[in-house]
Structure 1
Amino acid sequence: MDHEKVNILLVDDQPAKLLAYEVILKDLGENLVIASSGREALEVLLKTEIAVILVDVCMPELDGFELAAMIREHPRFQKTAMIFISAIQVSDIDRLRGYEMGAVDYVPVPVVPEVLRAKIKVFAELYRKTRELERLNQELEDRVRARTAELENSTAKLRESEQRRSMAIAAGKMGSWDWDWITGDWMWDEGQYRILGVSPESFEVNPANVQALLHPDDVDQLRKAIAEFNSGTRSYETEFRIVRPDGEVRWCVGTAAATVDHSSRVVRVSGVTVDITERKRAEEQQNLLAREVDHRAKNALALAQSIVRLTRADEVKAYVNAVEGRINALARVHTILSLSSWQGAELSKLIDEELAPYSPSGQIRLAGPEVQLLPTTAQTLALALHELFTNSAKYGALSTRSGRLMIGWQVDDELLTLTWEETGGPLVRTPKSRGFGTRSLLASVESQLGGQAKFDWRAEGLLCRLEVPLTRKPAATAPSKFDAAAAAELQRASG
C-alpha cells in the first residue's frame, strides 16, 4: 500500500559503512539521510523531520552516546527512535548506558541485513502511525471546536432572537391573541392590549368592542377573515388600521391560523398582531423622498437641456468647452446642495466653488454676510456667477495678473444685492451686442429669479449688479420659461 515516506538518518564517520547501510535499507522505500559526524547529524535534525536515527557508537570527536544525550536534551527529539550500531562486544553495562541515553535498540556488527531492515521498518511504521494518529486527533479537535462554535453561535442567535421578541413585546410592537370560535371567548396577552391602547381592567374583549377599535374603512377586513375561515381557509394575513380610544391611528399587520376538529370545523383561531406604524411612516417618507428626488432630477436635467440647447459657439471645441463649463458649474452647486440635504446653499460657499478653478492668488476679494439661498435660487445663481467668472477670465480682470475683482453682497428687506466690480484689467469697451453668456445671465436672473441684472461697461472694468429676491419661490420648476426668456433675449439682441 502506498504511504508517505519518512526520513531515516544514518550517522557514521566511515563512508563504506554508510554505503552499506544505504544498500541494506534501500528496499524499504524510505528517504535515507546521510551524516558523517555527530555535529552534521545535529544540523540535519534541526532542519529535517526525522523518524529513525541509526548511529554508530564509536565515532571520533562526538561518539554515539554523547550524540544521543544532546539529541534527547532538545524537546523536539525526546521521542525520536535511535538505534545504536556497535562493532565491539557490548556488555550489559554498555547497553544500560545506551538505553539511558535514549537508544531504543542495539544492532551488533557484523550487521545482519534482514534484522536491520526489520528493526528500521518497525520504527518507521510506528512513526508513521503516530503521525497519522496525531493528524486524526487534530482533525477531531478541529471538528469538535467547529461544532462547539456552531452550537455557541446557534445558541447566541436563539438568545438574540428571544431578546428581540421580548423587546418587541415590551415595546408594544407585538401582541398575541386566541379566540374560541365555539364559545366566543377571547384571550389577549399584554402586548395586544398595549397595541390597541386599552387596559385589561377597563376593556372587555368581545367582537363588538374589537370591531369598535378598527378603522371604519377596515372593518370589512374582519368580516372577510371570518368568511374565509368559515369557507375552509386555515390561515389569513392582512394589514389594517386601529383607532385607539385617544384617537391615535395605528397601522398593524395581523396573522391568524385556524384549528379544526375531526370534522374540519373551526374550533379556535389564534393570531399575532404587529404594530407597523413606524414602517408605514418610513414608507411614506421614502415615497415622498423618491418624488422629491425625481422632481430635483427633472429640474437639473431641464437646466442641462437649456444649457445644451442655447449655448452658441463658432467651433466645436469652443462649444464643448462652454457646455462643459456650465454643466460643471451646475454639478458644483448640486454637490453643495446634496451636503445640506437640499436645504439650501451658503452664498459664500457658492462663490468659493466657482472661483476655485482660477487660483486667483489675491486677485479676488469677497465681502458680505452669511446668506442662505433656496436650492433653485442657488442653482440659477451658480450659472450666472459661472458666466461672470468665465468672461472675466477670458476678457476681463482675471485675464491678467494686474487685474482685481471685488465681489460684495448685502441683504435688505429679503432682497440680495450682489456687486461684481472689476479693475486693473484690459481696457473695456461697451460691446456692440450681448454675448450668449450675458444674455443667458439676464434671462436666468430676471425670468427665473424675478430679479434684475445691470451691467456698466466702464473703461477700467466691468461693474455688474445683481438683485435677487430671497423669499420669492423661483420658477425653476417650469424650465420652459427659462427657454422662452432666453430665446426672446437672443432674438432682441440679434434683431
Structure 2
Amino acid sequence: MDHEKVNILLVDDQPAKLLAYEVILKDLGENLVIASSGREALEVLLKTEIAVILVDVCMPELDGFELAAMIREHPRFQKTAMIFISAIQVSDIDRLRGYEMGAVDYVPVPVVPEVLRAKIKVFAELYRKTRELERLNHELEDRVRARTAELESSTAKLRESEQRRSMAIAAGKMGSWDWDWISGDWMWDEGQYRIFGVSPASFEVNPANVQALLHPDDVDQLRKAIAEFNKGTRAYETEFRIVRPDGEVRWCVGTAAATVDESGRVVRVSGVTVDITERKRAEERQNLLAREVDHRAKNALALAQSIVRLTRADEVKAYVNAVEGRINALARVHTILSLSSWQGAELSRLIDEELAPYSLGDQIRLAGPEVQLLPATAQTLALALHELFTNSAKYGALSTRSGRLAIDWQVENELLTLSWKESGGPLVMTPKSRGFGTRSLLASIESQLGGQAQFDWRAEGLLCRLEVPLTRKTATTAPGKFDTAGSAELQRASG
C-alpha cells in the first residue's frame, strides 16, 4: 500500500560511505537526505522534518557524540531516533556515552545491508504511525490545541529544564567497581553504593552479598559473566535488575572489562554500573501511551463510522446536517475528555457545550450537582443530549421564543437520573412511530450504558427521563407512567 515517504538523514564525512548507505536504503522507498558534516546536519534538521538520523561516530570538527548532544538540546528533536555507525571498535564507555546522548542503536562496520535496512525500517514505520496519529488528533482536537497553547509552551520549557537537570545529575546515577580476581577483594565507589541502596559502613562487598541484591530472575547474568571471563572473554555488557534492601526494584546496565597477566590469565575485572530505571520507565510509558492513543483513535473512528452508517434522511442536505451535528457533538465531548487527559467529563460541561450553538437566553433552566462521567458514558450521553436538543430546536419548546426547557439531574446509589421537561412550545402529539434520532437515543442509553430512556409525550411539552448507571451495572427503575422501548425495537433501530 502506498504511504507517505519520510525523511532519513544520512550523516558522514566520506562520500563513498554516503553512497553506500544510499544504495542499501534505496529499496525502502523513503526520502534520503545527505549531510557531509555535523554542522550541515544541524542545518538540515532546522529546515526539514527528519524521521531517523544515521550518523557516523567519527567525523572531523563535530563528531557523532557532539552532534547527538546538540540535537537533544533542542526540544524539537528530543525524540528523533538516532542510530550511530562506528567503523572502529567502540569502547564500553563510548557506548554508554552514546546512549546517554540519545542514541537508540549502534551499527558496526562493515555494515550488513539487511540489518541496517531492518533497523531503519522499524524507526521509519514508528515515526510514520506516530505522525498519522498526530494528524488524526489534530482533526479532532483543534479546539483543544487552541486552548492549551499556553500549557504546551510551559511544558516545553519544563522539558528543557528537566533535560538540563537530568544531564547535571547523570554522574550521580553511575557507579564503578573493581574486583581482584585472584584475592577476591572488591572495591565499590560511592556511586555504586548509592545505586544499590546500601551504606559503605554496613554493607560488605562480596559475591554472596552482591548476589543477594540481584533480582532472582537475573542472578544467572552474574554467573554467565563469570563463566565468560573464565573462557577468555575480555569484555561483557548486560542489563539486569537489583532489589534494594527497602524492596525497590531498579534497572541497571553493567559493563565489565578484564585485565590479564602475561600468560593471559584474568587477574582483575573492572566495571561500570549505570542506573537506567528512568529510561526503562519512560519506555514503558511511551509504549503505554502509543497503545492508548491507538485505542482512542480507533474508538473515535468507530463512533464516527456508526453515526454515518446509522443516520437516515430523505434528502441529501438533511442527511449531511444530521451527520455533521452528530460528529460535532462527538468532537465536543472529545475536546472535554482531552482536557481532562481522558479521566472523565462533567455532566454540566456536556450540557453547556450542546447549548453553545443556540442563543436561548433565559429559556433554559439547569439544576443538579457536579457529576463526573467516565469517558465511555460521557460520549454516549453527549450524543443522546444532542438528539434531544436537536429535536427540541426543530419541533419542541426550543423552536419558539415562548418555549421553556428545564433540565434537572441527581445521583443516588451510583445511578444518574436526568429529567428533561419542555413547556410553552407547540402542542405535542404522541408520535405514531419514533424517529431514528429517538430510537438511536434509546439504543445507545439502554444497550451501551445499561440504562433507560423514558418518554412522556404530554400536550404541553415532552417529558423525558434518562437513567444512567455511573458504573457498568444495569439500573432498574420502579414502574410509572413512562414508557420504554422494547428490545426488538432497539434491534431495529441499530439494524
CA-CA distance at 1:204 after TM superposition: 2.2
Cα distance change on mapping 1:148 and 1:449 into 2, 3 Å: closer
Compare 103-112 and 470-479 and name the one that shifted more: 103-112
CA-CA distance at 1:316 after TM superposition: 2.4
Preserved CA contact (<8 Å) 1:7 1:32: yes
Compare 401-410 and 332-341 and name the one that shifted more: 401-410
Identity within the alignment, %: 94
Cα distance change on mapping 1:473 and 1:126 into 2, 3 Å: closer
CA-CA distance at 1:339 after TM superposition: 0.8
CA-CA distance at 1:323 after TM superposition: 1.5
Per the alignment, in what secondary structure is the counterpart of residue 171 of structure 1? Answer: helix
CA-CA distance at 1:62 after TM superposition: 64
Cα distance change on mapping 1:143 and 1:255 into 2, 3 Å: farther
The number of equivalent residue pairs is: 495
Cα distance change on mapping 1:422 and 1:203 into 2, 3 Å: same
Q: Which runs of 5+ in 1 are unaligned?
A: none
Compare 173-182 and 10-19 and name the one that shifted more: 10-19
Preserved CA contact (<8 Å) 1:448 1:476: no
Cα distance change on mapping 1:339 and 1:49 into 2, 3 Å: closer
Quote the residue 1:114 is aligned against.
114
Could you report, residue by residue, the CA deviation over 1:192-211 in whole angstroms, capped at 9, with x for unpaired residues?
11222222233222223222
- How many Å separate the matches in 1 of 2:247 and 2:67? 95
Cα distance change on mapping 1:183 and 1:410 into 2, 3 Å: same
Compare 230-239 and 332-341 and name the one that shifted more: 230-239
Instruction: State the TM-score, normalized to the length of structure 2.
Output: 0.61
Compare 204-213 and 447-456 and name the one that shifted more: 204-213
Cα distance change on mapping 1:258 and 1:42 into 2, 3 Å: closer
Per the alignment, in what secondary structure is the counterpart of residue 342 of structure 2? Answer: coil
Preserved CA contact (<8 Å) 2:363 2:403: yes
Cα distance change on mapping 1:152 and 1:83 into 2, 3 Å: closer
Cα distance change on mapping 1:446 and 1:265 into 2, 3 Å: same
CA-CA distance at 1:82 after TM superposition: 65
Per the alignment, in what secondary structure is the counterpart of residue 169 of structure 2? Answer: helix
- How many Å separate the matches in 2 of 1:326 and 1:354? 11
Quote the residue 2:169 is aligned against.
169
- How many Å separate the matches in 2 of 1:207 and 1:90? 29
Q: Provide the alpha-carbon RMSD of the alignment.
A: 26.9
CA-CA distance at 1:101 after TM superposition: 67
Preserved CA contact (<8 Å) 1:299 1:479: no
Quote the residue 1:212 is aligned against.
212
Per the alignment, in what secondary structure is the counterpart of residue 484 of structure 1? Answer: coil
Preserved CA contact (<8 Å) 2:454 2:482: no
Cα distance change on mapping 1:263 and 1:403 into 2, 3 Å: same
- How many Å separate the matches in 2 of 1:181 and 1:97? 27
- How many Å separate the matches in 2 of 1:147 and 1:171? 39
- How many Å separate the matches in 2 of 1:224 and 1:89? 23
- How many Å separate the matches in 1 of 2:189 and 2:56? 87
Preserved CA contact (<8 Å) 1:6 1:51: yes
CA-CA distance at 1:179 after TM superposition: 1.8
Compare 329-338 and 267-276 and name the one that shifted more: 267-276
Q: Which runs of 5+ in 2 are unaligned?
A: none
Preserved CA contact (<8 Å) 1:443 1:486: no
Preserved CA contact (<8 Å) 2:451 2:468: yes
CA-CA distance at 1:220 after TM superposition: 1.4
Quote the residue 1:398 is aligned against.
398
Preserved CA contact (<8 Å) 2:136 2:297: no
Cα distance change on mapping 1:106 and 1:449 into 2, 3 Å: closer
Preserved CA contact (<8 Å) 1:24 1:117: yes
Per the alignment, in what secondary structure is the counterpart of residue 334 of structure 1? Answer: helix
Compare 356-365 and 159-168 and name the one that shifted more: 159-168
Higher Cα radius of gyration: 1
Per the alignment, in what secondary structure is the counterpart of residue 480 of structure 2? Answer: helix
Cα distance change on mapping 1:282 and 1:309 into 2, 3 Å: same
